[in-house]
Each structure stands twice: as structure tokens, then as C-alpha cells.
Amino acid sequence: MPPSRADEKYDLNRIIIKPLYFGLVVNVLIPMGLLLICFYFENQRTWYNRIGDFANTLFYLFGLLSLAQTALAVWLRRKLLAAPMIRRKETFEDDLIQSLLKKTRPISYVIALIAAYGLVYFLLTGRFKETVALVVFSFLVFQIVRPRFGFIRKLIERQEALVEKGEFVRE
């Protein structure tokens, strides 16, 4: 993609790094750590199915909840990042960095909850494969909503348009 005006005017790496790293920790590192713990228990054969035949139904319920949370994460991203994020024109880049991190945190938590379903499922059923499926699904959802350079360029354009109209953050 050719450089845009935002590339010349702002440090896109600086803008994207904090929300991206926060999302990576919450949506990749922590779920992977929990998955490693489940893997350990799976290999030790110390966990068993506590809920019996309801395990399959519970997996499908968690799957439906995960799909609903995916829709919620996409909706939250669109809704939260469409509002004004800038306090003053002079501090545009710093305000954008702080607001972007603040507004992407709840989205990361919603996605991380999908991986938490996997942990709960393992604790109730001892089924590792289904647990992995839920955790991998949460990784895929994170890939859909994580900040990217194209998205940041469009966000900057929207925020600049709001600033030109005189619409700033009201807190």
C-alpha cells in the first residue's frame, strides 16, 4: 500500500504498538499459558469429565456464545472507535494513542473471554481437543479485530475530520 498523508504526518508504529501489545498479551500469551496448564493436566490424566453427557451440549453452547462475542467485539470496535478520541488539535497523536489503548481494552477482554470458555470447558470435562478449538477460535477473532496499519490510517482520517468539525472528546 502506498504511503498516505497519515504516514508522513504521524508515527503509525507508535500509535499501533500499545493496543497491539496489550491485545497480544491478553489474547495470545495468557490463553497459551492456560492452555499449557490444561495440556499438563491432560498428560497427567488427572482430569476427568465431571458433567457426563452434557459435555457435548456445553461445547456447542460455548461455541454459540463465542460467535455472539465475536459479533460483539466487531460491533464494539466499530462503535467505540467511531466516536471522537481527540482532546485538542495540538495533542492529536498523543490523544489518539491514549484513546486507542483505552477503547481497545474492552474489545480485548471480550475476545479473551472466548479463550476462558475453553478453560472452563476443560475444568468441567477434561476434554483437551475442544478446549484447544475454543482457544484457537479466540486467536482467530483477535486476528480479525486487532489494529492494523490500514485501519489506523482510516481512523486518523476520521478523527481529523471530527477535529475539523470541532468535535472533541467530552469527559
- Residue by residue, pLDDT tens for the chain (171 residues) are 555 677 788 999 999 999 999 999 999 999 999 999 999 988 987 778 899 999 999 999 999 999 999 999 999 999 999 999 999 999 999 999 999 999 999 999 999 999 999 999 999 999 999 999 999 999 999 999 999 999 999 999 999 999 999 899 886
Domain of residue 71 covers 11-163
In a domain? residue 90: yes
Task: Let me know if residue 168 belongs to a domain.
Answer: no
Q: Please indicate, yes or no, if residue 169 is contained in any of the structural domains.
A: no
Q: How far apart are CA 121 and CA 144, in angstroms?
A: 24
28: which DSSP letter? I
Q: Is residue 57 part of a domain?
A: yes
Which pLDDT score is estimated for 68?
98
Tell me if 36 is assigned to some domain. yes
User: Is residue 132 assigned to a domain?
Assistant: yes
Residue 73 lies in a domain: yes
What is the reported pLDDT for 34? Answer: 92
pLDDT for the residue numbered 5: 73
Domains in the chain, number? 1
Helix axes 54-80, 92-125, angle to 10 degrees: 180
131 falls within a domain: yes
